[in-house]
Chains A and B, each alone.
Chain A
Amino acid sequence: MNNDSNTMGKTDILRTPLYQTHIHLGARIIEFHGWEMPVEYSGTMKEHKAVRESAGLFDISHMIKLKVKGESSLEFLQSISTNDISKLNNNGMKYSIVCRDDGTIVDDIVMIRKEEHFFLISNTSRKEILMNWLDKHTEESVEIQDVTSDIAALALQGPDSDKIISGISDNIDNIRFWSGGKRKIAGIDTYITRSGYTGEDGFEIYCRSQDTEQLWRSIMDAGDIEPAGLGARDTLRLEMGYILSGMDITDENNPLEAGLEWAVKWRKDFIGKDALLKIKKEGVKRKLVGIKLDRGIPRHGYDIVGSNNEKIGSVTSGNISPTLGIGIGLGYVKPEYAFIDTKIGVLIRNKIYYGMVVNTPFLEARK
């Protein structure tokens, strides 16, 4: 057999504090944008199922974590991203998009308002692009501190997550969906948010890197939990239709064609607003849609074709849906094809595999 996928060139490879833990668990390690990360342990299908039915624990320490400090940090973040955080309470969280003047996307980010600063979480694959952009737009009264290597992050996801964390921490009920708070978990200082990237109830938990192994063990010992890797993280988010920066949104895309207008607040000013207003008025050139195939698996880069086998777009993300047992994907198509039930095909190794445009999430949200 021949593996057709490419491997990246080796530079300085980063490891999370849990690298040895992953090795002991028998993880298969891959290089993921400069990090050696577990892609799967027992297998993506089993890990995926555990998260849908009980609980899975992910090491997400590779996510970029930034502290934004200074008296004008709120104004700064309001100006560089599309969502409105002016009314965000302490420990509130918001998803937002950083755009260029022409409306194209630099990256998507999550912001948490903390007492002393804003905490930003962004994508490893887009780090350089985002950091360069932020540097260029930072005023003197704003300080951006990269704490990616100082602070580790775990994600406990699945319907049993609440029960598990409640057993080893206090006042977890007060942590509502998309908000956070400082909590001791099994005696370890953490910051915990009720959030995730899987469509299930769950938490993202931040701790000092030296406490990570102990935190991982304490959580694993607190319930019947499957360690889960990047493979399951990707199939879980895909089933929910959640976009991945660097795949479904790149330098070429704008939030409107990506279906992210809900995170664009027209009542405030931000970089790229004028360009986006113009695009909104004129109409987008393509739209991100969900597709499912009768057979075959759509994957990143494959052509999407219309009824006369003409190219109408391309797949940005795709895989098997472990829950549905069919190939699903996201991709951009010309707007006239972006309607539910439109018949499409995907060109896979020079053969057309038929399917249709469907609503996302591919699964109903179960929250």
Chain B
Amino acid sequence: MSAGKTIVKDGLFYTDEHEWARIEGDIAVLGITDHAQKELRNVVFVELPEVGDKLIFRKDFGYVESTKAVNSILSPVSGEVIEVNNKLEDNPELVNTDPYGEGWMVKVRMSNKDEQKQLMDSNAYSELIENLNK
């Protein structure tokens, strides 16, 4: 049962593969959206990169596993990982309970600010979700 309405947060940037980025200056915090966590239902394991790893725009940077399947997470930006949410190691369910907050995944120093233009804002992403739910 997809209980409750899918949440889309204003002020974040989104990919059409349901990742989000909170961008301040050249720093981006990344995670997966409420729609994505609802699709997964039970997140049971999250594999993340390490500090210092380089992420590439639209390439895998980690994996999120549900009871059913393994899904790769694509990076909304290019850059270097400067922090990882280690809480997800023992509490992967935070991705389900708070996808835009405690369920964040990595913090990145962006290497190409122009990529931001290729991401959706909350209005565009809301529209995408509405179409998916039709």
Q: State whether A297 touches B64 (Cβ < 8 A).
A: no
A43 contacts B72, C-beta separation under 8 Å: no
Contact A296 B45 (CB under 8 A): yes
In the assembled complex, B29 has its CB within 8 A of some CB on chain A: no
Given A28-B41, A41-B1, A295-B89: A231 and B67 within 8 A (CB)?
yes
A41 to B, closest residue via Cβ: B1
Interface residue A313 (Cβ < 8 Å from any Cβ of B): no
Count of A-B contacts judged by CB separation below 8 Å: 66
B67 and A4 form a contact (CB under 8 A) = no
A45 within 8 A of B: yes
B67 touches A320 (CB 8 A): yes
A25 touches B71 (CB 8 A): no
Which residue of chain A has its CB nearest to the CB of B71? A1
| Interface range, B side | 20 to 34
B22-40 with Cβ < 8 A to chain A: 32, 36
Please tell me if the beta carbons of A235 and B67 are within 8 angstroms of each other in the complex.
Answer: yes
A299 within 8 A of B: yes
Chain A residues positioned under 8 Å from B69 (CB to CB): 3-5
Q: Which residues of A contact B66 (CB under 8 A)?
A: 44
A contact residues, total (Cβ < 8 Å): 26
A100 to chain B: closest CB distance in Å? Answer: 33
Residues of B within 8 A of A4 (CB): 69-72
CB–CB B68/A44 < 8 A: yes
Decide if A231 touches B72 in the complex (CB within 8 Å): no
B121 close to chain A: CB less than 8 A: no
Contact A43 B44, CB 8 Å, known A1-B32, A297-B65: no
* Cα–Cα distance between A130 and B106 once the two chains are bound (Å): 50
A203 to chain B, nearest CB (A): 25
Contact with B along A305-334 (1 / 0, CB 8 A): 000000000000001101000010000000
Determine whether B80 belongs to the interface, using a CB cutoff of 8 Å to chain A: no
Say yes or no: A320 contacts B45, CB within 8 Å: yes
For chain A, residues 127 to 183, give those with C-beta under 8 angstroms from any C-beta of chain B.
none
- A39 adjacent to chain B (CB < 8 Å): yes
Partner pick for A1 among B36, B45, B47, B68, CB 8 A cutoff: B36
Q: Produce 1/0 per residue, B73-102, CB < 8 A to A.
A: 110000000000000010000000000000
B39 nearest in chain A by CB position:
A1
Distance between B35 CB and nearest chain A CB, rounded to angstroms: 10
Asked if B42 is at the interface of the complex by the 8 Å CB criterion, the answer is yes
Closest Cβ–Cβ distance, residue A208 to chain B (whole Å)? 29
Docked Cα-Cα span, A77 to B68, in Å, equals: 36
Contact with A along B2-32 (1 / 0, CB 8 A): 1000000000000001110000000000001
Cα distance A143–B50 in the bound complex, in angstroms = 63
Query: How many Å lie between the Cα of A296 and that of B18 in the bound state?
Result: 23
Q: How far is the CA of A2 from the CA of B32 in the complex (A)?
A: 12
Residue numbers in A under 8 Å from B73 (CB-CB): 1
In the complex, chain A residues whose CB is within 8 Å of the CB of B19? 1
Answer yes or no: A89 CB below 8 A from chain B CBs.
no
Question: Is A10 part of the binding interface, using a Cβ–Cβ cutoff of 8 Å?
Answer: no
Pick the contact of A2: B44, B45, B74 (CB < 8 A): B74
Residues A349 and B42 in contact in the complex (CB < 8 Å), given A1-B17, A2-B17, A45-B67? no
Residues of the B chain whose Cβ atoms lie less than 8 Å from the Cβ of A204? none
CA distance A42 to B74 in the complex (A): 27
* Binary interface encoding of chain B residues 37-62 relative to chain A, with 1 for a CB under 8 A from any of its CBs, else 0: 00001101101000000000000100
Any B CB within 8 A of the CB of A40: yes
| Bound-state Cα–Cα, A322 to B42, Å | 10
Q: Which residues from chain B contact A322 at a C-beta distance below 8 Å?
A: 67
The answer to whether A26 has its CB under 8 Å from any CB of chain B is yes
Within 8 A of B (CB), among A1-25: 1-5, 25
A28 — which chain B residues lie within 8 A by C-beta? 41
Identify the B interface with A (CB < 8 A): 1-2, 17-19, 32, 36, 41-42, 44-45, 47, 60, 63-74, 89
6 examples of A-B residue contacts, CB within 8 angstroms: A1-B17, A4-B69, A42-B1, A43-B67, A296-B47, A320-B44
Q: A2-B71, A4-B69 are in contact. List 5 more A-B contacts (CB 8 A).
A: A1-B71, A1-B72, A40-B67, A43-B42, A43-B67
